[in-house]
Structure 1
Amino acid sequence: MAGFQFAHMQNFSRKGDKGGRTVSFVLAEARRDPAASLHVSSPRPPDVVWGCSVEDLEREHDDRVAVARKTIAGGKTRSVGKEQHTLRTIVVSHPYTVEEVEADPQKRQEVERWEALNVDWARKELGDDLRTVVRHTDERRWHLHIYGLPGDPEMRASASHPGQVARAAVLAAASVEGEDEKALRQRSDRAYKTAMRNWQDSYFLAVGMPAGLTRLGPAKRRLSRAEWHQERQQAQALKAAQEEAAALKVKADAFARQVAEKAASIRADAVRRADAAKAAEKQALKREEAARRAISQAERDTRAARRLRGLGGAIRALWDGLRKSLIVARLREELRPTVERWRQAEASARAAASAEAELRAKAEKRLSALSVSAAELGAQRDELRARLALYEPAAVVAPVPARSQP
């Protein structure tokens, strides 16, 4: 059963710390160079869990340090000093030994989950500074090394170290009343420890607790062995509950995906139906438009037929008129001798009346006889005039003036 967590953060410079560990030495140790691996009985090359190789990490570090510049008074810049921390490191260790993990598939599965939790946490903790995560299996405990390079142009690793940031903030602020240099240092140290405890707590919540580890071991909290075992059992129970919750979440996510897929299928079917309805509506509109065009064409054809029918009537009327005109002309020709004789007779009668009174009676008698014939012609003439009145001005025949008494 797993024990308590271990996580340690430390930054390094090219000059090195009090123990002489420089950036170059730390990375040589990570690579398992012989000169830097004297503490390991049988060194093995590291396994890259995430990111680049240790060699690539060192090359990038050296290239960036060579061009990094630090701004000083007056706006001038200078190269970054060797004492400045330029490499970020975090070591995390699991309670299981390498021997236990390699011998027990269940424990290997547990540390694999623990490693995945560490990678996720490191990517959030270091952000773009994270470069690589490596595993060493040539030491007793199963552990990981996490390396990062500061992202700012001056490569200040201390700017991302929570404890160093808290300490620097206290030292940069004004001293409280009655506080000497020693008290200020003590207060800055307390700020450092508080920030690091908070950091450890955040790591426990993100990695230790989901992995079934306890926050601290029994010695630091003066717990009895039984009490600490009970706490480990609680941690394992919490882990099991989290794993069950995770499994339920997987099932819930799968169900949600099924529902989403079903909903997507329903939406897609609705879209297809809507598209089909739109297509049908469009086709109906086309047919309606075709029907309107057909009706419009029929109306035009009807009007044309009516015009043709009217033209035919006009042609027939013209033809009938021509026929009627020919009849009138023929009647005129036929009546002309008779009318002429009538006129001549009237003229003779007038002449005779003026010359001989005694011939008046004879002339009237003759005129009466002619009037009988004229009556017959008059009827025909009146009919002709009625017909001619529709097509041309009627022929006017001067009436015969009444003869005056001598």
Structure 2
Amino acid sequence: MSGPQFMHLQSYARKANERGQSVEQVLAEASRAPEYSKHVADPLPPSLVYGVAADEVRRLHDEMVAAGGVEVTLKDGRTARRGIRKDRHTLMTAVASHPLPTDLVNTKPDARADYERWRDHNLAWLKARFGDKLVSVIEHWDEKHPHIHAYILPLDDPTCSARQLNPAWQAKEKAMETARAAGHDDKAALKLGNAAYRAKARELQDHYYEHVSLACGLTRTGPKRERLSRQQWKARKDAAKLTAQISQEIDGRLEDVVDAEDGLERSLAAKAEEIVEKLDLADQALEEAEADRAEAKRLREQAARDAQNAEARIQQQLDQKQEELEALHRQQREAERADLHRARQEAEQEARRLRDAQAQLNQDRADALRNAAKEAAHVVLELFLGVLDGSVRPNPADPRVWTIRDDDLRERAKKLDLIELIKDTMKALHVAWTQLSKRLPSTEQAVVADKIAEPVKAALDRQPGHQP
């Protein structure tokens, strides 16, 4: 499974917008009310994934709006509390569509498993992003692709502003406020605000890609969006598949390590009679709740991680997945962790083998999924900037050969074998810029070049660890 994927956020008011969309229309369409489902050939009721049904979302929304209000200043200086205007955006929605067709997901077990994995990653991302403001997630199965709808309410905001739940909108308002404070007029402030909105929206999609799409073998964008050739697009999809496979293999190997360590602890129990009672209590707790079992495994692994720094990265992954459990049980399991540490000293040789396996997993993942990808992206962006400023250009004697002035950049591009992959894009950029600069006065060429290079420099700034 591979393909482009993104999460779309949009807010709505009780008053319909120019496209006829409103809170009532959106929720009625989600419920597949007949008058709002004419675009679907054979409408089916939605499936509830999380929270409450769409009809219940409408009730919660109306109660929230009825209880909300805004403080206003009257002409005589007095203040009064007024109800929420109908044109205020009071409902935030998030929509994500799966790239596989609905018929395939419904008939193929592997496709169904891919979809459910993607759906679970989406739900985890939404919960982490919106917390208890996420009141409902549903899925539709009556269109070409299965997709999910999430509904978010500003429940703790008396002004009921759903726009404030959108990080991009928050960035826009902050940028406009800063611009006005710096003396800019409303037109300039709006321009700066819109730029901040787009930048934050791209950052949000990048975060969604890293935490959902990448883990499910999906790409960030499609081939047409980036003007990729068939070979380049196939390579991109294969890389996304490989990334998901590596993630799944690492998860599986971690499970094997945990299972092996469980067997080690059972053998140690016979040698550690002084902690038999505590282990029995732990076993009983693990049988009562899977959450307690996960926490006990984390604590048992902590002692081994203390002996080798490389295991700290695996612990960080486990901490992220089990943060709530850690807060509830850290104090309760501290004494047990110390006892288990002493018991493991008697089987140090076996524990060392497990630690080495975990260290190798950590090294493989760090090298394969982070450093190489970040370095390749950074070199491509630097090459594009070089085309604009003339430091990267085709050789006049042989246009198939590219001259790179910066020795370090040339070696990095050669090492990653990137020139052959992106030479067509660089050639198109070089030809376009050459033709454009010929039509511009010399006084404007530098200004236009900086404007064209601005989004590339912005992308470079977002590359962690590689600020120019």
Query: What's the TM-score bracket when you normalise by the shorter of the two chains?
Result: 0.5 to 0.7
Deviations 1:73-105 (A, max 9, x none): 355321111111111100011111101212221
Residue 206 of structure 2: which of 201, 204, 210 is its match? 201
Change (3 A) 1:15 1:256: farther
SS of the equivalent of 1:141 reads coil
Contact persistence 2:57–2:136 (CA under 8 A): yes
Which one of the candidate residues 254, 260, 265 is aligned to 2:259?
Answer: 254
Q: Which amino acid aligns with 1:163?
A: A
Given that residues 87 and 149 in structure 1 are in contact (C-alpha distance below 8 angstroms), is that contact kept between their aligned partners in structure 2?
yes
Aligned equivalents of 2:148 and 2:13: distance in 1? Answer: 21
1:3-40 Cα shifts (integer Å, max 9, x gaps): 11131000111112221211011000000001111111
For residue 216 of structure 2, give the secondary structure of its aligned residue in structure 1: coil
Is residue 56 of structure 2 the alignment partner of residue 56 of structure 1? yes
- Any conservation in 1 of the 2:95–2:149 contact (CA below 8 Å)? yes
For 2:26 and 2:268, how far apart are their aligned partners in 1? 55
How many angstroms apart in 1 are the aligned matches of 2:273 and 2:52? 45
Please tell me whether the aligned partners of residues 6 and 209 of structure 2 are also in contact (alpha carbons under 8 angstroms).
no
Distance, in Å, in 2 between the alignment partners of 1:263 and 1:78 is 69
Residue 110 of structure 1 is aligned with which of 99, 110, 114?
114
- Which position in structure 1 is the counterpart of 2:89? 85
Structure 1 position 174, deviation (Å): 3.6
**Distance change in 2, residues 1:124/1:272 (3 Å):** closer
Question: 1:114–1:270: structure 2 CA closer, same or farther, 3 Å change rule?
Answer: closer
SS at match of 2:93: strand
**Cα distance change on mapping 1:219 and 1:260 into 2, 3 Å:** same
Q: For residue 135 of structure 1, what is the aligned residue in structure 2?
A: 139
SS in 1 for 2:146: strand
**What is the percent sequence identity of the aligned residues?**
34
CA–CA distance in structure 1, aligned partners of residues 173 and 127 of structure 2: 25
Structure 1 residue identity aligned to 2:21:
R
Instruction: Determine the C-alpha separation between the residues in 2 that align with 1:231 and 1:201.
Output: 16
Cα distance in 2 for residues equivalent to 1:260 and 1:78 = 65
Q: CA deviation at 1:267?
A: 5.3
Distance 1:177 1:259 in 2: 65
Whether the 8 Å contact between 1:6 and 1:94 is mirrored in structure 2 is no
Distance between the aligned counterparts of 1:127 and 1:246, measured in 2? 26
Give distance in 1, aligned partners of 2:116 and 2:277: 47
| Distance (Å, rounded) in 1 between the aligned partners of 2:18 and 2:261 | 56
**Closer/same/farther in 2, CA of residues 69 and 265 from structure 1, 3 Å limit:** farther
The amino acid across from 1:198 in the alignment is E
Max Rg structure:
1
TM-score (norm: length of structure 1): 0.63
Cα distance, 1:265–1:90 mapped onto 2, change above 3 Å:
farther
Match of 2:155 in 1: 151
Over 3 Å counting, the alpha-carbon distance change for 1:85 and 1:259 in structure 2 is farther
In 1, are the aligned partners of 2:269 and 2:276 still within 8 Å (CA)? no
Q: Is the 8 A contact 1:122 1:130 kept in 2?
A: yes
What is residue 24 of structure 1 aligned with on the other side?
24
For 1:259 and 1:15, locate their aligned partners in 2 and report how far apart those are by CA, in whole Å.
64
Question: Take 2:21 and 2:81, find their aligned partners in 1: how far apart are those partners?
Answer: 28
One-letter amino acid of the structure 2 residue matched with residue 123 of structure 1 = K
Q: Show the 5 A alignment for 1:176-255.
A: 179-255=184-260
Which amino acid is the alignment partner of residue 128 of structure 1? D
Aligned-pair CA distance for 1:266: 5.6
User: For 2:160, what is the secondary structure of its paired residue?
Assistant: coil
User: Residues 268 and 128 of structure 1: is their aligned pair in 2 closer, same or farther, counting only changes over 3 Å?
Assistant: farther
Between 246-255 and 217-226, report the one with greater CA deviation.
Answer: 246-255
| Correspondence list, 1:296-311, <5 A | none
Report the secondary structure of 1:210's partner residue.
Answer: helix
8 Å CA contact 1:150–1:156 kept in 2: the answer is: yes
1:145 aligned partner, one-letter code: H
Q: What is the TM-score when the length of structure 2 is the normalising length? A: 0.55
Once residues 71 and 272 of structure 2 are traced to their aligned partners in structure 1, the CA distance between those partners, rounded to angstroms, is: 60
SS at match of 1:18: coil
Shift of 1:252: 2.4
Q: Which of the pair has the greater relative contact order for Cα pairs under 8 Å at 6+ separation?
A: 1
Aligned counterparts of 2:277 and 2:185: Cα–Cα separation in 1: 80
* Structure 2 gap segments, 5+ residues each: 279-468
| 1:97 corresponds to which of 71, 77, 101 | 101
Which residue is 1:171 aligned to?
176
Deviations along 1:132-151, one digit per CA (max 9) or x if unpaired, are 11110111112110111112
CA contact (8 A) 1:101 1:108 kept: yes
Aligned length: 273
CA distance in 2, matches of 1:176, 1:68: 30
Is residue 50–residue 138 contact of structure 2 (8 Å, CA) maintained in 1? yes
1:56 is displaced (CA, Å) by 1.2
Partner of 2:457: none
Cα distance change on mapping 1:128 and 1:272 into 2, 3 Å: closer
CA distance in 2, matches of 1:17, 1:257: 59
Alignment partners' CA distance in 1, 2:130 and 2:268: 40
Structure 1 alignment gaps of length 5 or more:
274-406
Q: 2:127 aligns with which of 99, 123, 127?
A: 123
Code of the aligned partner of 1:96: L
